[in-house]
Structure 1
Amino acid sequence: MNAPLPFQLQISSRPVLLIGTGEAAEAKARLLQERDADITHWHTTPSEVERARVEQCNRDPKTRYVLVVIAEVNAWTEALMPWLDSERLLINVVDAPQLSQGFIPAIVSRGRIQIGIGTGGSSPVLARFVRTRLEQALPQGLERLAEFADRWQLRVRQILDTVSTRRQFWERHLSGPAGQAALNNEPDLADSILTTALDADHSPQGRVTLVGAGPGDASLLTLKGLQRLQEADVVLYDKLVSPEVLSLARRDAQMEDVGKRRGHCPTPQDSINARLVELGEQGLTVCRLKGGDPYLFGRGGEEALALVQAGIPVEVVPGITTASATAAATGIPLTHRRVARSVRYITGHLALQQADTDWQALAQEQETLVIYMGFTHLQAIAQRLQESGLKAETPFALIQNATTPRQRVVHGQLDRVDEAAAELCLGEGPVLVIIGEVTRLAQELAPKAGGDVLKSQHTDPLYWLQSA
């Protein structure tokens, strides 16, 4: 991937060469002046004396030009390029990424907080769109929070001697009452809260959060789930968690795959429980990332009990369960007062394994049946339901990789399950089974709920920017 490396360049009181005239040059001059750069501005072809002055400055690291900005490309500025290259200067050419060695991003400025949005010079307009979105999202008092953190940084470093302890401390207090007081321009209150906090015991305390990752679409992850994921030192994730969601974890987080596959369980549940306890006892912040919702067929209850019994603080962040997300994405309402007044969730493999499964109760015409982990047992399940009274022509839908770009939907009826199942391969992603008359409604609703509307939003690259 040929992506530039974002980097903040200190130019205060440092020499910067600005070349060219026009609106772009004026805009760049203002930007450089705001950062107290020592600007040399060439409006026309420089004289030999002016070039010699730059060459002389470049011989001393203390006076060397840190940046050259070429605001217009024309014959006389292009003629300077070989000389600038020979001086080994960092060059930015406005609207000419192929000639640039670095790019000046669109900037969101909150005092000490400087956020640069760059596209490698390919689309400055898009960068400005993103900047506008961030400007709307970030509080105006954010610079006060940065000043507060800077003022306390040395003392916190002196008292808390490990990186993980300091990170946990700042994560807790910058997003807590102390940080809120700083944002509200109440520095005395913020200082008092942090003083009390630093006087307390600072033994590292682990924390585990069970986070529902939702059905696969990263945009369906809850805000709280995203926050806990990005706070985590270690992330333990399941097979059902999509790559798009995993990519949102902190770059330096330790990622551990503890997922189970059909017929293959490299990390048994007892081992997962023990690992969560072990990490918590090490004082780490842990995110246990689970597909759908942790408390719905996710064994979250078992993990939470193990942590509580070990004395490890545990939090559960719910996720959008796959059943409701799939219904929204495919135009299959789980209930409808004319055809289905209730919905029942079951797991396919357990229903078949348990001798006391009440198949008569499951075979209800006025009920929607949602079956997790039932694809490989679909023929046996269909047979049991028909034997228990459900009509052979009862419709069903198979949805693979729901809510993701890889989503596939296959419709069928109970007496012809083999035909529908043959169209999917379990190795290509998880499959949810929905049985009931509501699946017929997808013929009318899918173009609106799961087709045209969603397609127009996902394929329009500026949809999310314009929705601010």
Structure 2
Amino acid sequence: MDYLPIFLDLKHKNVLVVGAGDIALNKIKLLLRSNAIINIIAKNICSEIKCLLAQNKVFWISQEFKIVYLENIFLVIAATNNTQLNQIIFEECNKLKILVNVVDDQSKCSFIFPSIIDRSPIVVAISSSGKAPVLLRLLREKIEALLPTRLGDIANIAGKWRKIVKKKFVNFLERKRFWEKLFSSIFVQHIINGREKQAISTIEKMIKKPNILIGEVILVGAGPGNSDLLTLRALQVLQEADVVLYDNLVSQDVLNLIRRDAKCIYVGKRAGLKSITQKKIIKLLIFLAKQGKRVVRLKGGDAFIFGRGGEELEAAKNANINVQVIPGITAGIGVSAYAGIPLTHRDYAQGVIFITGHKCINNISNNWSILSDPSYTLVVYMGSLKALEISQQLILHGRLKSTPIAIISQGTTINQKVIIGRLDEIDKIFKLTVGPTLLIIGQVVLLHKKLEWFKNLTNFNNIETASSIINV
């Protein structure tokens, strides 16, 4: 973030505007809406600002800027064509720790004005940090169209009931649930359609109803890494969560989408490293849900594909806890698509098999005869630790040594790297990769060169063959 977005209370605070032309006028109009005390320094004053002076809405204090005029000033706007004067104002404000904005000179701004969508008291401010004003305008138009004109009335009416609701529901979670239910109810439509009496009646009825806290566990698949691949329902749930327990494979971009005041607990597990046990994770899920909290279990990919989601769901159900499952794009599907490798193809593969490189708890062994059938594409999750064993068993049971393989690391992200090689090179290739990785085995890998489409925008040479690496 180049700038921290904050909302300033300027009511009855002194603001200094140096300049009184059309550009200054635009800033003054905005400042008037915030009820600031606006002081002006300028030699020449445009007609509209003269009208504001006549109405005592702004105050003209001098024709020339002097440092003494910065005393008791909260914020300064320099809107002059005099670059030397603008520089002096900027430097003096910095010395005195006063917020300053030199119009149309971002390098001399300690704050910038965002684009504003005003549905007071609901105010949406967006900014491109000065990088793309046209894009900002287009975004503003889209947001303006989405937000009802009477959105502010919804907030105002709710605000009048805050004390009553707080008195009725002492527990924070109870209050939160009440407001979530209210804003998802017919209450909103009543206000939008101008039916205030019906809206208030809705609040009165909902307050009288007991607001019993019922916890739940929601399994959410975060997808293969790229936050753009998160489902809409998953995003909604992340915004409603009280607590989020997340894994190692969940990307930071996805974590940034979690509601800011939700508690986030890392429960990731990585091979070879000390980490929380699955038993403890399940106990924690149940403990938090029984406190009445909405607990999201956030997993990379899909929770039901090698994510142990079934175990966690089963434990929650056994504890009589409400559950939901939000599917995610599993790595095998998402990563292969971003690598341009179709897992099935009429000319190459009649089916696809997903397996994990980790063994099951009861040590059920793989059926290598089926896995070695060349008419199936084999997708291996977490295959790095058992790469050599997988290769040896497949070759032993009939797969050709020359069978094409793809090892994809950090798939679907801008750091995605694809290495193409042969089955008998598998162990050497894995030593050159950085996890997380996905292994694809089969003739469909041959289509990668023709069908690949996703490239790292900062490095167009992110596709390599095993022979070019190993022989270096």
Match of 1:466 in 2: none
Q: Confirm or deny that 1:300 pairs with 2:309.
A: yes
What is the CA–CA distance in structure 2 between the aligned matches of 1:364 and 1:176, rounded to whole Å? 55
2:405 counterpart SS class: strand
Comparing 337-346 with 102-111, greater Cα deviation is found at 102-111
Q: Count residues in correspondence.
A: 446
Contact 1:111 1:143 survives alignment (8 Å)? yes
Match of 1:107 in 2: 116
1:72 to 53, 76, 80: 80
Q: Confirm or deny that 1:8 pairs with 2:7.
A: yes
Correspondence 1:263-302 to 2 at 5 A: 263-264=272-273, 266-302=275-311
Match of 1:406 in 2: 415
Amino acid of the structure 2 residue aligned with 1:437: Q
What is the CA–CA distance in structure 2 between the aligned matches of 1:88 and 1:275, rounded to whole Å? 47
What is the CA–CA distance in structure 2 between the aligned matches of 1:346 and 1:183, rounded to whole Å? 52
Contact 2:154 2:191 survives alignment (8 Å)? yes
Contact 1:379 1:417 survives alignment (8 Å)? yes
1:349 counterpart SS class: coil
- Flag structure 1 segments of 5+ consecutive residues without an equivalent: 457-468
1:398 counterpart SS class: strand
Q: Confirm or deny that 1:199 pairs with 2:203.
A: no
Contact 1:174 1:180 survives alignment (8 Å)? no
Change (3 A) 1:392 1:174: same
What is the CA–CA distance in structure 1 between the aligned matches of 2:67 and 2:35, rounded to whole Å? 22
1:429 to 429, 435, 438: 435
Change (3 A) 1:423 1:143: same
By how many angstroms is 1:339 displaced? 1.2
Contact 1:208 1:280 survives alignment (8 Å)? yes
Amino acid of the structure 2 residue aligned with 1:27: N
By how many angstroms is 1:86 displaced? 9.0
What is the CA–CA distance in structure 2 between the aligned matches of 1:381 and 1:203, rounded to whole Å? 52
Contact 1:328 1:450 survives alignment (8 Å)? no
Comparing 151-160 with 321-330, greater Cα deviation is found at 151-160
Deviations 1:411-458 (A, max 9, x none): 12222323322321xxx3211111111111001001xx32389999xx
Change (3 A) 1:89 1:400: closer
2:399 to 380, 390, 400: 390
Contact 2:359 2:365 survives alignment (8 Å)? no
Comparing 240-249 with 96-105, greater Cα deviation is found at 96-105
Contact 1:20 1:77 survives alignment (8 Å)? no
Amino acid of the structure 2 residue aligned with 1:346: I
Q: Confirm or deny that 1:347 pairs with 2:351.
A: no
Comparing 174-183 with 365-374, greater Cα deviation is found at 174-183
Correspondence 1:111-130 to 2 at 5 A: 111-118=120-127, 127-130=136-139
Match of 2:333 in 1: 324
Amino acid of the structure 1 residue aligned with 2:122: I
Match of 2:177 in 1: 168
By how many angstroms is 1:277 displaced? 0.6
What is the CA–CA distance in structure 1 between the aligned matches of 2:89 and 2:383, rounded to whole Å? 69
Comparing 379-388 with 96-105, greater Cα deviation is found at 96-105
What is the CA–CA distance in structure 2 between the aligned matches of 1:395 and 1:81, rounded to whole Å? 63
Change (3 A) 1:180 1:377: farther
By how many angstroms is 1:351 displaced? 7.4
Change (3 A) 1:177 1:272: farther
Q: Confirm or deny that 1:236 pairs with 2:281.
A: no
Deviations 1:81-129 (A, max 9, x none): 6887898754332123443343322212223211222455666556445
What is the CA–CA distance in structure 1 between the aligned matches of 2:9 and 2:293, rounded to whole Å? 35
Correspondence 1:35-50 to 2 at 5 A: 35=34, 37-44=36-43, 50=62
Comparing 312-321 with 150-159, greater Cα deviation is found at 150-159
Contact 2:414 2:457 survives alignment (8 Å)? no
Deviations 1:10-41 (A, max 9, x none): 34566544332443223223323444555444
Match of 2:144 in 1: 135
Amino acid of the structure 1 residue aligned with 2:77: V
Comparing 393-402 with 69-78, greater Cα deviation is found at 69-78
What is the CA–CA distance in structure 1 between the aligned matches of 2:142 and 2:320, rounded to whole Å? 42
What is the CA–CA distance in structure 2 between the aligned matches of 1:453 and 1:122, rounded to whole Å? 19
What is the CA–CA distance in structure 1 between the aligned matches of 2:146 and 2:381, rounded to whole Å? 38
- Flag structure 2 segments of 5+ consecutive residues without an equivalent: 46-58, 461-472
Deviations 1:106-155 (A, max 9, x none): 21222321122245566655644543453354444432332332232222
1:214 to 220, 223, 233: 223
What is the CA–CA distance in structure 1 between the aligned matches of 2:227 and 2:310, rounded to whole Å? 24
Amino acid of the structure 1 residue aligned with 2:260: R
Match of 2:319 in 1: 310
- Give the share of equivalent positions with the same residue, in percent: 38
1:376 counterpart SS class: coil
Match of 2:156 in 1: 147
Q: CA RMSD in A?
A: 3.5
Match of 1:459 in 2: none
What is the CA–CA distance in structure 1 between the aligned matches of 2:92 and 2:381, rounded to whole Å? 67
By how many angstroms is 1:352 displaced? 11
Q: Confirm or deny that 1:438 pairs with 2:444.
A: yes
1:114 counterpart SS class: strand
Amino acid of the structure 2 residue aligned with 1:422: K
Contact 1:45 1:77 survives alignment (8 Å)? no
Contact 2:415 2:456 survives alignment (8 Å)? no
Amino acid of the structure 2 residue aligned with 1:99: K
By how many angstroms is 1:65 displaced? 5.5
Match of 2:48 in 1: none
Q: Confirm or deny that 1:368 pairs with 2:377.
A: yes
What is the CA–CA distance in structure 2 between the aligned matches of 1:397 and 1:163, rounded to whole Å? 51
Change (3 A) 1:28 1:196: same
2:400 counterpart SS class: coil
What is the CA–CA distance in structure 1 between the aligned matches of 2:176 and 2:342, rounded to whole Å? 44
2:217 counterpart SS class: strand
Change (3 A) 1:125 1:69: farther
Contact 2:39 2:60 survives alignment (8 Å)? no
Higher helix fraction (1 or 2): 1
By how many angstroms is 1:167 displaced? 2.2
